[in-house]
Structure 1
Amino acid sequence: MSMTMAAIVLGMSVVTYIPRMLPFVLLKGKELPSFWQNILRNVPYATLGALIFPGVLSFHENIVFALIGAAAAFLIAFTGANIIITVLGSIGILTVLSLFM
């Protein structure tokens, strides 16, 4: 690896490390207001929606299959399951559905 590439990797690691550590250092021992806690609690589900929705719209084969997958993910997330269970559950439902279609 050249020195330029090593410097780029080191620089990128510093740039991503600092924003991740600043909240831990600056907010240590402090509690966020309940308003902000409620907003941050919904970030994983908003991210999941942002990842799934474009895939549903750009699905090329059978749009019904994509809509069923999105509905399954929505329903699983609505029950309060964490994001990993939501993704794996939706994949599982579509896998079983593809066996019968």
Structure 2
Amino acid sequence: MQHNVYIYILVMGIVTYLIRVLPLTLIRKEIKNRFIRSFLYYVPYVTLAVMTFPAILDATGSTASALAAFIAAILIAWFGGSLFQVAVIACVVVFVLEMFIC
């Protein structure tokens, strides 16, 4: 049985297109429900987090150093650190822990 990659690409394109176009064509009025508005507001952030978190845990030589850097990054961001500070501190934590673990 031969699989045609062009059919897969076509189906993926159609599904992606429909996901973007259907809300614009079906919902013409402003959404007034607070629950739905807040749900739609947080969808991009949750999607990004769900895609990023597994990559964070697999990006280093050990899961322990990745988790420690993730926790350090969350704490620095929580206390108002800039994106640059968060990235540098997470990298330093991974570097130091990888030196002692390996």
TM-score (normalised: structure 1) = 0.54
- 2:89 corresponds in structure 1 to 93
Aligned: 1:18 with 2:18: yes
Could you tell me the TM-score, scaled by structure 2's length? 0.54
* Contact 1:69–1:90 (Cα < 8 Å) also in 2: no
Gaps of 5+ in 2: 97-102
1:44-75 deviations in whole A, cap 9, x for unaligned?
A: 34334433157438965261x22233221476
Give runs of aligned pairs for residues 1-101 of structure 1, distance below 5 A.
5-50=5-50, 51-52=52-53, 55-56=56-57, 60-61=61-62, 63=64, 65-71=65-71, 72-73=73-74, 76=77, 90-98=86-94, 101=96
Offset at residue 21 of structure 1 (A): 0.7
Task: Write the distance in 1 (CA, Å) between the matches of 2:7 and 2:25.
Answer: 26
Equivalent pairs, count: 90
The residue type equivalent to 2:42 in the other structure is N
CA contact (8 A) 1:69 1:94 kept: yes
**Share of identical aligned residues, percent?**
24
Q: CA deviation at 1:23?
A: 0.4
Whole-angstrom CA distance in 2 between matches of 1:21 and 1:41 = 18
Distance 1:34 1:74, change over 3 A: farther
Deviation of the 1:17 alpha carbon = 0.6
Q: CA deviation at 1:26?
A: 1.1
